[in-house]
Structure 1
């Protein structure tokens, strides 16, 4: 491995820890600001908290990410992430706008269509800064011994794909933010997995600087989520609110696009379907839980003739509570599932696929058993009655 291919792991750790420290320190400030402005989460029928709770945790998270990126810009190695592309700047500006929209919603409760328009606008900011898909591979229609077909996307097609991804991820993270520490923990797992995936690409491509921006976005977001968790884990001192959940969704969409949207597929063996599918596999694994929750909610609500944005109490975390898990145990189980799927799919792209598959299958079986323990215990009691 050449000198340019040396993995700057220490630099990314430093940036991530800086983002974590800033978020941890500034969360208390955000809490006081929320209480002064009246940005409070008052208990509703679908909520699990019993006391009013301050919002605006997303402000501290954004400050942590901004601080981490500023430090990265000062480091000789990671500065290449800003010189190669405008992806980090685009994500930072688009993230700042969506945090402001979320903060206004935390205080005044915007309607769903206004928030959707704001999400599309923020996705447009990413596109303006070049955060968009230029290539997209599908596993069918190959020729001359190649597996699949590589599509070259124009700016309109690539931009539309970014808008769809941002809106999907923002609302998925918003939907999953229903228990103390849940969205922050899943954001931490997904961002860490995307960072590791980008570093894996950096190693396999001989130091391609194109992998620096997504790794930086993932590292700073993971740090911000880590710094926020001590304040937000049950019992929470404040909530991230829409300012935080929408910010996490946009950052994840930006990291995914930066990592996969401009990937140079010819560097792979075109008969290795796992390698070619690696971007899609990692995205599916890292974001499976929030996307599944979003899909189930949309289907459930539209079947009842309701708006997809109508609130209810039937999300995945609510179902774990109904089974008999406590809030903390339900959150930890969601962490386990997210970590297993996210890092398992990343491992598929970096190690022997067959071995990783069997390890993942074993982990999934253990996860199912652990998740079903309360129900399994209740059946003998019901039979005894």
Structure 2
């Protein structure tokens, strides 16, 4: 009779204890797999959203004495001397070596216009890009869909007492107010927003751009390199990386990942305690059996090997079932957590790591009970007979 046979027979005789051990470790491993899988999937979801929405690079005209209001440009009654960005040059941004990491290019033209007796700022934007880029905008009504439509910021709407559907006359042209932008706490609240081509004609800035916002952010995007490459193709502009935006976004992702790993670590530790307590109880219950083995000539190494072999079998089963349970939980939860870009990949590394983790935890938690069993005096068994 080999140690393997003895271990298997013992597990068969104690099915309830084996099931308890498997469940204890299974819950821990399943939790780890679920959290790791969800963390990776949600990180990809977050990166996807950040890639698509939210600018972190700003391109403005180069000027030494330019006052700052919106993206580095003051409009209205303030005179400015600078070379505007040429709209024809914007396609050059898509030719840089890191062009694959550029998610959106959002040009804008700014200028002062008169609405009745009030002077306000008109911002012309690329309709297809801007309203997708500014995901945090909440608009009562709808975004601009035509050249004769406008969206008003909250402060402009309050100052001019604007209402949905109202007709506005600007420089002899009539526009319909199709949306009211809820307060954002930014310069957007003080602007009328319309289409880019219309604003260029109205302001007399045909083919000119006041500033460009670029969204370029992913897990390992070299933002500084992108800035340098854009500066090379647009040498007459000033290209700025909004480092605080980048750092805060990546810090949030790192914090989320750290929290998940911390929770997983606590659950695995609890699983290890379950294995330790159960194996210690099993050793104490098998005092006579272990003593007989020692009396029959089993060495201490044999006893240690027997206990660890039982733990290995249980841990292996728990690791496999835990991985499958974790993957099942991930697939069930992911559609509710990652609504826009649910993405799940089978990972051989995660499968192997979870099984190895289960075996390592089971072995370490069983080591002391195994050593304790090996130190039993054979005479204990004879007293029990």
Same fold (TM over 0.5): no
User: Greater helix percent: which structure?
Assistant: 1
- Higher RCO by CA contacts (8 Å cutoff, separation 6 or greater): 2
Shorter chain as denominator, the TM-score bin is under 0.3
